[in-house]
Structures are given as structure tokens and as C-alpha cells.
Chains A and B, each alone.
Chain A
Amino acid sequence: MVKIYKGNAMKSDRQLVAHLMRRAGFGATPQDLDSLTSDKSYEEIIDDLVTPERFEPIDMSYVERYYTGEPVAVHVGKWLYRMANTKRPLEEKMSLFLHHIFPVAWGKSEHGPSLYREIEMFRSTGLTNFKHILLQLSQDPAMLFWLDNHENHKDEINENYGRELLELFSMGVGNYTENDIKNASRAFTGWTFRQPLSLYPYGHHHADFEFLPEDHDYDEKVFLGHVGNFDGEDIIDIIVEQNAAAKFLSRHLYNFFVEDEVQVPSWETIDPKNPQAIEELSKAYMESKGDMRHILKTLFNSDFFKNSLTLSKVKSPTELIVGVIKQTGEFNTPTPGIHEFAVTTLNGSAIEGPLAIMGQRLMNPPTVEGWHTGSEWIDSGTLSERIGFVEKQFADPTKPGVSEMVSRAGNLDDNPSELVDRCLDLLGAVNVRHETYQSLTDYARELKGLEDSAGVHNLIQMTASTVDYQFA
């Protein structure tokens, strides 16, 4: 463990708060950490995180003037801008969480406005309760089209949505039968959407939810042992009362915020890494009827979260990229170019941007299962891109955050280990293993006099290229 920067009379621990802000948000700059730790206790910071209304939202009317147009990369760009600049980090992190577990890809509909609108729905529902989330999801045009519920008719069942709602979105395999899938699918017949106005001459419009009573199956259904003339909302009501739903959501939250779990399809057969934690979260779910604020507060205040600093949690490409652009400060204002992080050949660009090469095309997940996370983010190709990305981002001293970091870090004449300490803190109080710390110190010592161009920026780049930096 490295020496940690210590200020005067702090109300909360700098490294713990840095950890919290990486997990509940997209990391913190040293300036953020200065003010958070001096003004607020750890519990107060969590209270702020789960109560985003206390902070001004980003004025998107201003941002959208700079980032215009229909390409999906622009929509993702706007989202990245929000992640990097929001004063409500958990709200934004929850929208990413819901995109992970309810993944909808642009590639099928090629309809950006509806997809962007879905992310807005995730943002506004992420901190409500699970029933509300599932209901909004089941009425979301992007999802309805993605899983073909508009093709789920009274006389011709399409069970795609019904199956994935149970298998991937709420309970997991082993908690229902093929018959439950069929009956759930019947209950969602007639849940569809109205076509949006056409692009020409009306402009960009999203689709809207529509219920078609004449296409709905009003007959009796049997679902998880309940019998009735259920519609989709009744099905969701039954789902959210299940212990299986509490456990499923808890494991997702644990996987996303605390420690990497195995991939979702293996949950049926492989026990959680920390069954006790899943119990605690499930209890919070059951006692609050799926209230997300209560569950998340329980999570961040728990001992298992506070002790998770050294547990394995690999940054997603989005976390890595947003974490870096927060540091470089390049997009603290709506500077052009943020969409370039998100371009991909899948949406018509000639080249792949860094998100794509690192394996996470936002709004274009590979399948309905979403992304495989944890160590599966890393292979030789994605790792090569991660290193190349930070190298490039921190090489440019014209970026406001980079020049600030370089000047705050000091210079190569300074004591090497103090130099390394400052670089680690500047990158958001990064936690590194002892061996890494030693290697960085050796590197810092020898950089001087190596070449004319060698400087502190090389040490910052190397710090962000370490194995340790790949962990959230």
C-alpha cells in the first residue's frame, strides 16, 4: 500500500472516498477529493449520491447545441459528456448499470432517438424501485422493438421478450418453466409502440408506447403458480415479489459495484462470491419492496463494500474512458469531438473508436446478454487499446487537465517516490500494489536525462498504463 496524501482535519478518508466515487460514479479529480473529504463524512457523501435532486442537473439545452445530429455516436457522445460532468454521478452510473443488464442495440432498429430516450428513461428510473423500472422497461419502445414485442400478437405469440424478461432481466434460469414464459408472453400481447414521425421533414423523434386492446390476450393465464387474467403489469407485480428477483438484482448490483462475479448464465450453477452480501442486499430489497435508494445506501455503507478496495473489479471501457477524460478536462465544456470515442464501423464509421476496440460499443451491445464483464474485458487486443488510449490522452499538454496535472506533479528533479505519490493522487488516489509502486519509482528516477523529451507526463502515462489502473 502506498502512502496516501493527507490533508488537514479531513471528515472522511481520501482513499475510501476515491474508491466510492470510482464505483458509484466515474472517479474524482484531486480537487473533487479535496472538497469532498474536507466537507463531508463518508455517510453524508452516500446520502448525497442517492439523493441526486440536491444537485443541479446538466443543462442539456446548452449541450445539445454543440452535439447535434442523428448518428448514434453523437448520442453516445452526449452520454459520455454527462458521465464526465454530472453533479449526480450515481444517477448516471445507474443508467449505465441498467444499460448493462437491459442491453438494447442500435444495430437492429437503427433508430437513435428511441435509444437515446431509453437511456433517459434509465436515468430517471434508476433510483426508483424495481417494479417501476421493469414496468418502464416493458413499455419502452426501444426494448419492445429490440425483443420483438411489437410482433407479439394475441393469435401469434412471440416469446422473445417474455423469455428474456424472466431469464435475463429479473430472475434467472431455474426459477420458472417454459410454460411461465408462454403465459408471460401472452400477458404482454398488445404492448407495442407508435411509429415516430418520419425524419423528413419532421426531424428527430422517438417512438412512443402504445397498448392495443384488440391485440391483447384477455384470457386466463397461469404464471408462477398464480392464476388470473393477467396483463404485463400483473406479471411484473408477481415477479418483483419473488425472492429470486431480490437475489438476482442483488447479485447484479454486487457484480457492478463491488466485485466481479462470473457471467450471468453461470449464476444458476455457481454460488455468489459473497453469499452474505447477497443476503444483506436481498433483505434490503424485500424490506423496502425493491427501493433502489435504500438498497444502494445499504450497499455503499456495508463493510463488504468498504473492504472491497482490493477486490477484483475490472474497469469497463466506459469507466476507463470517462475516468480519463474527467482527468484530462478536455470535455469540461462541450468541446467538439467527444463522439469520436464512440464511433464504430457498426454504425457507419470507417474506423473503430476506442470504446469499440476496448469491447464496449455503448448503445450497441453484442447480444441481448449484454457485455461479458470482469476479466473478460481484457484480452490482448483490448489491453493494447487501453494502454494506447491513456498514452495518447495524457500526452497532450494542451488539455487543461493534463497541464494542471503536470504542473502539480512537479518535475524530474524531485524525489522519485514523492513524485510517484503525487501522480497516483492526481489520477484520483489510485491504489497500486507495492511492486508496481517500486517499478514506477525506478522509472521516475531513471527518466531524468534519458532523452530531451522525457518528462513527468511519461510517469503519468505509465501510472495509467499499469495493471493496477485497470481495476476500478
Chain B
Amino acid sequence: MVTEAKEKTLVVIQLTGGNDFINTIVPYNNEHYYDARKKIVITQTDVLPINEELAINNNARPLKRLFDEGKVAIVQGIGYPNSNRSHFRGMDIWHTCEPDRVGSEGWLGLAIRDLDPKSENVLTGVNIGQGLPRAMSVAGVPITSVGDLEGYGVMNKIEQERLKERSLQAFKDIYGQAIGSGQVAEYIGKTGLDVLKGADLLANVATQYKSSVEYADNSIAKSLRDVARVHFANLGTRVFYTNHGGYDTHANEMPTHPKLLSDLSGAISDFMDDLKEHDAADDVAILVFTEFGRRMRDNGSGTDHGSGGGAFLIGNNVKGGLYSEYPSLNPNDWEHGEDLKHTIDFRGIYGTVLEQWLGLDAKPIVKGEFEQIKPFYI
């Protein structure tokens, strides 16, 4: 694999709601799985085996293709101690690396601060979607959050040059003066100034983009297409973030989960093709995570909150394969009734990405030292 001195970029995809890892990477020869899962179960004939024990869900066919090409690292059994099964606490913990108290600083926000300590580029961290994820939120770290790439910026509709200039100046005055007038006003003021900077940089991104890849018409595909458009404009973005919702499959899992997996894996594979077409595939790694796994036993229609889920690292420079261990499915090993016991701490995977991919010191960000894996060729 060829590596260049070029800076690496990380794309984080959050699967919101708690992806059912057991039905994503299926233990298709395991009796405990078939004992526990009565209705929400993937049959042995409906899988894409990767070895004697595990198979990729049939609906994630594009993921299987990428796996076969050696570009997918499956991190099995990722989790954290004492999961309390709450989405919100779960997400908080994943976002802030603070399992014992409520943290306020997001791990990627801290990483972005280290990548760009003087906040010289408001595009070092870019969120595609609405609402800033807590993972990126750290006071004073500018993040550009793009819900609508075409309409980004202010005073766009004023055509006459002098009027536009004077209006932008007034906006700048008003937002600049909010600095020092209370925490929230100051935050809004700073955000407004960042919009001005980001809008200048992003002005031509949408029109410059050309690609033969046709992304599907769903939310995650659109988001990854926006990631591609901004990335190919070479604006210095090191961390992209986006989220794919709907994974809280307490009910109707059998019809809904396949579509999620199909949309997600299709979008990732289109994105990878797009990177290849733009000769950018070696410098981008994707991290896919979710806040927890789901329980061993199904509830008849879906699965309830559990622990011990799974994450994925995907990219040209990723050494494909299985990492860590699949959580034990044996009922004797379950925690809290019927949760799977995690086998690797998520902070070790963050550490892996931070140190080995982005070249940062992970310890202050993840608050400690955790077991890492070696998933990169670099």
C-alpha cells in the first residue's frame, strides 16, 4: 500500500439508536444465538459468511464486497464497563469518554483542537447534518456544521455589492461584540463569525464537484456525498462527522434493520468508489460506531437495549479482518441478565484512531490508556 506524507482524514459515522451487532455480524453457526433469538434472527441461509463462525448480514452486501477487498476492520465486542442501557447516557459516554461523570467536552472536539490549536481553519472539523454532535463540541473550538451546503452563509440574497458589504460588516460588528457578554451570547457571536469564514471557503464547493458515482436517495448516502464534496475541495478538513438514525429497533426489527444496513453499506461503498475516482482513498479512514449493542434474547418483535456492540474501520489503508473477540454468547457469560460482555473498551479504539491515524496523543483525550489494535497499514 502506498502512503504519502499527506494529512489523514477521519470520517465518523454514528449509528443512532444502538445497532444490533449480533444481527449485523451474525454468529451463524452458534447454537446459543439460535436458542436466544427466536424471531429476530438471521437464518443460516441468509448470510454472507466470512469464516466458519461469522457472517455478514445478507443486506449489507456492499460491506461484504469491501470486506473481501480487505478494507474493513470489524471491531468485535466494543463497549464500556457498567453500561446502564440508556441511549442518552450511552451516547454521552461515547461522545465524551466520561463513563463515571457527565462530561462536557467531546473527544473529537478535543482532537480538532490538537489538530488546529490556534483555530486557524473553521473547517478542520465539519459536521454534515443538523445539530452539532456532542462529540465535536468543546468550548472555543470552531466546528462547521453544514445542513444545507448550497445555502450556507449569510446575506446571500443581497446582490448589490456595496449594500452586501455594509450588511456583512454590520453582521460582523454585532456578532463580534457579543464576545464577552455572557456565555451563550458569546457562543452565538463566535458561531456567527465562523459562519462568515466558512461560507467564504465553502462558496464554490457544490458547483466544483464532479463525479460519476451516483449515490442512492437516502439520508446517509446524501450525507456521505456531502462529505465527499467538501473533502475533494481540499479545504483542510481532518475530521468529518455524520449520523444515520433509526437503529433503536425494539419492534419491527425484521423489516427495518435490513433497510438500514442496506442504505448504510451502499452509501459507504459509493463513498469509497468516489474516493477512488478522486484519487483520495489512501488518506481517508471511516469509523462507524453505535452507542450500544442489543440484548441476546429478542422480545418477539425487536430487541431491547444491551451492551457489547461492534464498530467498523473502513478504508484503503485499513487492514481488513476481525479485531478483538466476539463477545461470548454462552448464557453463563451474560451480564445484567442477558447483555453480552464487551471485550474491548471503545476508548482503546478511539486511541487507535487518534494516535495511529491522526497522529495525536490520545491519553488526554480518552482520559487514560486503553488497549489499542493495529488496523492501519501506515
Report which A residues bind B (CB closer than 8 A).
107, 147-148, 150-151, 153, 156-160, 163, 167, 173, 178, 260, 263-266, 269-270, 312, 314, 345-346, 352, 356-359, 366-369, 371-372, 374-376, 378-385, 387-388, 391-392, 395, 433, 435-436, 439-440, 442-443, 446-447, 450-454, 458, 462, 465-468, 470-471
Instruction: Check B219 against A380 for contact (C-beta < 8 Å).
Output: no
Can you report 8 residue pairs joining A to B where beta carbons are below 8 Å apart? A151-B250, A151-B302, A158-B251, A359-B147, A376-B132, A380-B144, A436-B174, A465-B171
Instruction: Check A148 against B195 for contact (C-beta < 8 Å).
Output: no
Which residues of B in the span 177-197 have a Cβ within 8 Å of any Cβ on A?
177-178, 181-185, 187-189, 191-192, 194-195
How many contacting A-B pairs (Cβ < 8 A)?
209
- B248 an interface residue at 8 Å Cβ cutoff? yes
Residues of chain B contacted by A467 (CB below 8 angstroms): 174-175, 178, 185, 188-189, 192
Q: With both chains docked as a complex, state the minimum distance between the C-beta of A166 and any C-beta of chain B, in angstroms.
A: 11
Instruction: Check B300 against A383 for contact (C-beta < 8 Å).
Output: no
- B82 an interface residue at 8 Å Cβ cutoff? no
Residues of chain A contacted by B248 (CB below 8 angstroms): 367-368
User: Once bound together, how far apart are the Cα atoms of A160 and B153, in whole Å?
Assistant: 41
Instruction: Check A383 against B198 for contact (C-beta < 8 Å).
Output: no
Residues of chain A contacted by B195 (CB below 8 angstroms): 380, 383-384, 387
Of A158, A381, A452, most B-chain CB atoms within 10 Å: A381
Instruction: Check A378 against B187 for contact (C-beta < 8 Å).
Output: yes
Interface residue tally on B, bucketed by range: 35 or more
- B17 an interface residue at 8 Å Cβ cutoff? yes
Contact with A along B75-97 (1 / 0, CB 8 A): 00000000011111100100000
Q: Which 7 A-B pairs have the closest CB atoms?
A: A265-B88, A379-B145, A435-B177, A381-B145, A148-B251, A379-B132, A381-B147
Instruction: Check B86 against A153 for contact (C-beta < 8 Å).
Output: no
Q: Which residue of A lies closest to B153 (CB)?
A: A384
- B6 an interface residue at 8 Å Cβ cutoff? no
Instruction: Check B157 against A359 for contact (C-beta < 8 Å).
Output: no
Instruction: Check A312 against B131 for contact (C-beta < 8 Å).
Output: no
- B372 an interface residue at 8 Å Cβ cutoff? no
Residues of chain B contacted by A443 (CB below 8 angstroms): 166-167, 170
- B146 an interface residue at 8 Å Cβ cutoff? yes
Instruction: Check B148 against A352 for contact (C-beta < 8 Å).
Output: yes
Instruction: Check B148 against A454 for contact (C-beta < 8 Å).
Output: no
Residues of chain B contacted by A466 (CB below 8 angstroms): 174
Q: Which residue of A lies closest to B183 (CB)?
A: A312
Neighbour of B188 across the interface among A269, A270, A357, A383, CB < 8 A: A383
Residues of chain A contacted by B142 (CB below 8 angstroms): 380
Contact with A along B14-36 (1 / 0, CB 8 A): 00110000000000000000000
Instruction: Check B170 against A440 for contact (C-beta < 8 Å).
Output: yes
Q: Known A378-B187, A447-B166, A467-B188; judge A384-B199 contact (CB<8 A).
A: yes
User: Once bound together, how far apart are the Cα atoms of A450 and B152, in whole Å?
Assistant: 25
Q: With both chains docked as a complex, state the minimum distance between the C-beta of A137 and any C-beta of chain B, in angstroms.
A: 17
User: Once bound together, how far apart are the Cα atoms of A446 and B175, in whole Å?
Assistant: 19
Residues of chain B contacted by A366 (CB below 8 angstroms): 16, 131, 245
Of A157, A367, A379, A454, most B-chain CB atoms within 10 Å: A379
